[in-house]
Amino acid sequence: MGRHGLPGVPSDSIMRNALVKFYNIQGEHIYTLETPAQRPITTICWGHRDSRLFLACGTALYVVRVEHRVASLQLLCQQGIASALREERDVGKLNMPSLLCSYVTTA
């Protein structure tokens, strides 16, 4: 795990990229997660049946979904719609059946 400044941003800026590197059992690097953070990562914890990674940076808490396989198109669409919405209540404004709207809110 490490952190570094963003390229093109003055070094006195508060925002930094926190790097979390994942390795397999053989010690081979398999993935690097970049998380913009104002403070260094202080805690990392697996949770929720090994499907969530919790990162604490000062008073901020980041929740990362971890997939153990290639994500389905349905999951990718769910996350794309959820990230495009500004607030969770905006889901009700979508022209979709209520079951699909509730599925998007779980992203």
Q: Binning pLDDT at 50, 70 and 90, where does residue 1 land? A: very low
Burial class (CB in 10 A: 0-12, 13-18, 19+), 55: buried
60 and 96 co-located in one domain: no
pLDDT of residue 16: 74
Q: Do both 4 and 56 map to the same domain?
A: yes
10 and 54 inside one domain:
yes
Domain of 103 in residue numbering reads as 69-107
Q: How many domains is the chain built from?
A: 2
Domain finish residue from 33, 48, 64 = 64
Q: Phi-psi category of 85—alpha, beta or left, where left has phi over 0 and alpha has psi -120 to 50?
A: beta
In tens, the pLDDT along 30-88 reads 888 887 777 888 888 887 777 888 888 888 888 888 777 887 888 888 888 888 887 87
